[in-house]
Amino acid sequence: MRLGGCNLSCRWCDTPYTWDWTGIGDTGRAYVPHEELHPMPWQEVYERLRAYDVPLMVVSGGEPLSQQTRLLPLLRALTAAGHRIEIESNGTVVPRPELAAAGVRFNVSPKLSHSGDREERRLVPEALAALAALPGTAFKFVCRTTADLDEVAAIVARHGTTPVWIMPEGRTPDEVSRHLAALGDDVIARGWNLTTRMHVALWGDRRGV
């Protein structure tokens, strides 16, 4: 489930249609909110998600924790029905304890300087500490070069953001492959986890329905 709205504005964001209404991202395109956002009651969202009949559901964005209070009834209903829930977050919002109590896990992607977001916006110590303290949280950093890995190491040392996953930045299979090859040896040497972007390898920058 992809939610609209984000409190950051990463220049390379691959989902600018969730928040970029002025064209400040790399694409330069200004998206139109009423074309992209579709408000609906949570009960309707619940029925649509249940119809997929899958055990694991991922809530992404945008920044889902910006709407965490309104998400609670939906996520409680889904976990009560036996679904596992993971929330993807940029790590700038302290999660409400009710989310973890409902069994929600977090995949957190703090942003580096190449995102173009100011440091005080993209690194919020109390939010990172709260997320790192929850069982099952994973931290995923989007990187291009080995210099980015030094920046990751500094964040990990300061904020305790482990376990670390490194994902290559890229909106095309070529970009992802190039960055993955540039990062691989260093990531292994540092003892971190390396991942690729399966959806980009399969579908490039094409949007789903």
6 binds ligand SF4 (CB under 6 A): yes
62 binds ligand SF4 (CB under 6 A): yes
CB under 8 Å to 138, separation ≥6 — which residues?
A: 106, 107, 108, 163, 165
107 binds ligand SF4 (CB under 6 A): no
Residues in the chain: 209
Place of tokens 């309707």: 44
- The H or E element that residue 148 is part of is helix 146-159
| Part of the chain binding ligand SF4 (CB under 6 A), chosen from 9-17, 75-83, 155-163, 185-193 | 9-17
Beta bridge partners of 107: 88, 138
Helices 173-189, 146-159: axis angle to 10 degrees equals 60
90 binds ligand SF4 (CB under 6 A): yes
Question: CB of 73: closest distance to ligand SF4 in angstroms?
Answer: 24
79 binds ligand SF4 (CB under 6 A): no
Question: CB of 63: closest distance to ligand SF4 in angstroms?
Answer: 6
Cα separation of 6 and 189, whole Å? 34
The residue type found at 198 is M
Q: Which of residues 11-40 bind ligand SF4 (CB under 6 A)?
A: 13, 15
64 binds ligand SF4 (CB under 6 A): no
Cα separation of 111 and 114, whole Å? 8
CB of 83 or CB of 112, closer to ligand SF4:
112
- Binding site residues, ligand SF4, CB under 6 A: 6, 8-10, 13, 15, 61-63, 90, 111
